[in-house]
Structure 1
Amino acid sequence: MAPGGLFGTAAVAAVVSLAVHVALNCPIQPVPSRPPPAARYTPNNLLQGLEKLGEGRLIKPEDVYVDAAAGGTLYTATRDGWLQRMHPNNGSWEQWRFVGGTGLLGIAPSADGSMLVCDADKGLLRVEEDRVTILASTVDGAQIRFADAAIETSDGTVYFSDASTRFGFDEWFLGYLESRPTGRLLKYDPRTGKASVALDNLDFANGVALSRDEAFLIVCESAAYRCLKLWLKGDKTFQTETFVGDLPGSPDNIHRAADGSFWIALIQLRSPWLDLVNRWTLTKRIVASFPALLDRIKATAKGAMVAHVSEDGEIIRVLDDSQGKVINFITSVSEFDGDLYFGSLSANFVGKLSLAKVPQVQEAVSS
């Protein structure tokens, strides 16, 4: 057989082998991704000036809560199953409560003094001084697969996100690639002790926050580059609309500031390689079928970004570390007493940045 014929036969065999491997091993059923955001901001790298709190003792602190009533005591949850806190008077850290597992994500205060914690694997938890209670692990008879972030209203109702009904925390990137809107906003009623679905068909449901008057709730859709507003009061009760869209990143956690505005962590899931993979469902299937390739593609996304958004959904300013030199993959940002605090699933510290170092108005958007 001529060399050309051998080459052709080998190429066909390779293609057939690849097709068989993908058919047998692809864990996703992808649909086309939403168009990437058109918004572009001139990098300012202001996040490179942050201070690192607890460096070396915190394992990927995803969310941060600062307790104003306790003088600024800072809480976070880490991958070793601990809720940890930093005392404001001397900056010392304490392993406060052991919950266990590697999936502790969003944390939020409850009016009774306990802490609400989203355990991606177990569901919605209440953590008290002497015990941990699972408030909700199922909804409509099905297991909650990816509890992500929670917020409590003044009447004790808890709204919390379930990022995906198909993939858990350890497989979040597969859910991102698949692009199917299987996320949900769930509602826990303390009077009945049961959870129900408040919104479904969300594109990777993530952070949740309440407006100052609790007239509406915001839930982030990471894969849609937007945050939705769900009205809880008034003529539009139970109606939804876009709060802020076309964000320059995938919104993760969102926290309200004292003046009623919001800070949103924006995950940077863009790179030439990632954009290429997301262009076609076939490339998604191929990448998802090879775990080593999946990890390499995911690692091409670099950078950290947060956005400050008004009560009306207008972007006020954007801060970033464009190449992730000091902090990468920011997943939460909270404002307290003139400072910003950052959580990250790629860091071993909580970041802190004085707002005195941050311009009050964002520079113009560049095309």
Structure 2
Amino acid sequence: MEMKIVLVAALSLALMAAISRPNIFGAPNIKGSKDVLGNSKVLNLSLAGALAGESLDFDPNGEGPYTGVADGRVLKWQNDSHGWTEFATTTTNRLGCYRPTRPRLEEVCGRPLGIMFEQKSGDLYIDDCYLGLMVAGPEGGLAEQISIEADGRLIFFTNHMDIDEEEDIIYFTDSSIFYQIRTYMTMILSGDRTGRFLKYEKNTKNTTVLLTGLAFPNGVALSKDKSFVLVAEPTRFRILRYWLSGPKAGSSEVFAETPGAVDNIRRNEKGEFWCAMYTKKTFFSYFGFTYPWFGKAILKLFTFDQLNTLLLGGKPYYGIVIKLSENGELLEVLEDSKGKKVTFISEARERDGKLWLGSIATPHIGVYDLSQLR
């Protein structure tokens, strides 16, 4: 115990030094990284009074993108002339919700984190972090709640999903049984390991727990052949592979150790995986996420904004995504190291030669032309 007190005191001094001189423990360089995302185009959400378009998808007709925003709506991008229009909501009580963010009203207004269209039906499935797994029809409107508990326990922090349209199964994450998004900083620094990985069977309407004891489980993505599904564990800097078929069916293993904390995961047509990262593996993100006693100590010492700065390795904020092969090999690292256009990237969706970039905090969607890499 005395040793821990000494370590906390020493690290507290280092933290104070880092705040005054943030480059002391800056974000590390990743070998092979390309600082290109600052060339992205942005689609402005603030014109629709919104921010934090975390997840993205396109409907079966190729229209969109669509994104869920922090005030509980799902918006659709029409074009440069018409901008964003409202497509769906997750609650009927919208009084006071139409502002960029209303943290105290999130339980009432809802907050969609993951969205995905079922291509064969046109239905839009929504992971609302307060209201569970939901679905809206092809015409949008009010979404219907279809799953809010599993194994007798409330789904408390619904996060991200992928859909197996052949088996009519939705795989999704419940990030914690104790914490919700407005207290996520406490969750990631307190050592919470109560997250769950779930599946919802459309035919039976049953929700089953596949994995428990996870550290902030987040992004979900099926492999191209549907033999496995990936689950991000950002605060352990890794991605798990849960086998769905073959001799290892029903078991999990580490798919990849990542150079940062992965948020959402999306597979491209080749079977590769784009992974958005909230932060690189910095000095303070590693210690804060790995040692709960340290994380709890700094929670008491610093404000939310100071903690964000420390975890990111100092200002300016940045945006970063990585691409992994179907075997977990690191293929690509793309950054906006100065935060010129995209920061706090939460999802990277490859479509029509472009990388569409969602963010958990900014009032715009980024669009990067991948042909610029050639």
TM-score (structure 2 length as normaliser): 0.79
1:225-246: CA deviations, max 9, x gaps? Answer: 111111111222112122211x
- What is the Cα deviation at residue 278 of structure 1? 5.6
Alignment partner, residue 368 of structure 2: 353
Task: Tell me, yes or no, if the aligned pair for 2:45 and 2:51 is still in contact at 8 Å.
Answer: no
1:48 corresponds to which of 28, 34, 38: 38
Matching residue's letter, 1:307 = I
Alignment partner, residue 96 of structure 2: none
Matching residue's letter, 1:159 = Y
- What is the Cα deviation at residue 286 of structure 1? 3.1
Q: Following superposition of structure 1 onto structure 2, how do residues 237-276 of structure 1 map, counting pairs within 5 Å?
A: 237-245=249-257, 247-268=258-279, 274=285
Matching residue's letter, 1:215 = S
Alignment partner, residue 151 of structure 1: 162
1:63 corresponds to which of 55, 58, 68: 55
Change in 2 beyond 3 A, CA 1:229/1:307:
same
Q: Which of 1 and 2 has greater Rg?
A: 1
Matched, 1:96 2:92: no
In 2, Cα distance between equivalents of 1:174 and 1:332: 22
Task: Tell me, yes or no, if the aligned pair for 1:71 and 1:88 is still in contact at 8 Å.
Answer: no
Matched, 1:232 2:244: yes
- What is the Cα deviation at residue 165 of structure 1? 1.5
Matched, 1:332 2:347: yes
In 2, Cα distance between equivalents of 1:331 and 1:319: 14
Moved more, 297-306 or 311-320: 297-306
Task: Tell me, yes or no, if the aligned pair for 1:119 and 1:148 is still in contact at 8 Å.
Answer: yes
Percentage of matched positions with identical amino acids: 27
Matched, 1:179 2:191: yes
In 2, Cα distance between equivalents of 1:342 and 1:279: 28
Task: Tell me, yes or no, if the aligned pair for 2:28 and 2:282 is still in contact at 8 Å.
Answer: no
Matched, 1:296 2:288: no
Give the secondary-structure state (helix, strand or coil) at the position aligned to 1:61: coil
Matching residue's letter, 1:218 = L
Task: Tell me, yes or no, if the aligned pair for 1:103 and 1:119 is still in contact at 8 Å.
Answer: yes
Q: Following superposition of structure 1 onto structure 2, how do residues 191-206 of structure 1 map, counting pairs within 5 Å?
A: 191-206=203-218
Task: Tell me, yes or no, if the aligned pair for 1:72 and 1:88 is still in contact at 8 Å.
Answer: no
Matched, 1:106 2:98: no
Change in 2 beyond 3 A, CA 1:271/1:240:
closer
Alignment partner, residue 211 of structure 1: 223
- What is the Cα deviation at residue 64 of structure 1? 1.0
Alignment partner, residue 175 of structure 2: 163
In 2, Cα distance between equivalents of 1:278 and 1:310: 26
Give the secondary-structure state (helix, strand or coil) at the position aligned to 1:171: helix
- What is the Cα deviation at residue 275 of structure 1? 5.5
Matching residue's letter, 2:272 = S
Give the secondary-structure state (helix, strand or coil) at the position aligned to 2:65: strand
Alignment partner, residue 125 of structure 1: 134
Change in 2 beyond 3 A, CA 1:303/1:240:
same
- What is the Cα deviation at residue 187 of structure 1? 1.1
Give the secondary-structure state (helix, strand or coil) at the position aligned to 1:206: coil
- What is the Cα deviation at residue 92 of structure 1? 3.4
> Which structure 2 segments of 5+ residues have no match?
6-26, 92-108
TM-score (structure 1 length as normaliser): 0.81
Matching residue's letter, 1:99 = T
- What is the Cα deviation at residue 188 of structure 1? 1.0
Alignment partner, residue 305 of structure 1: 320
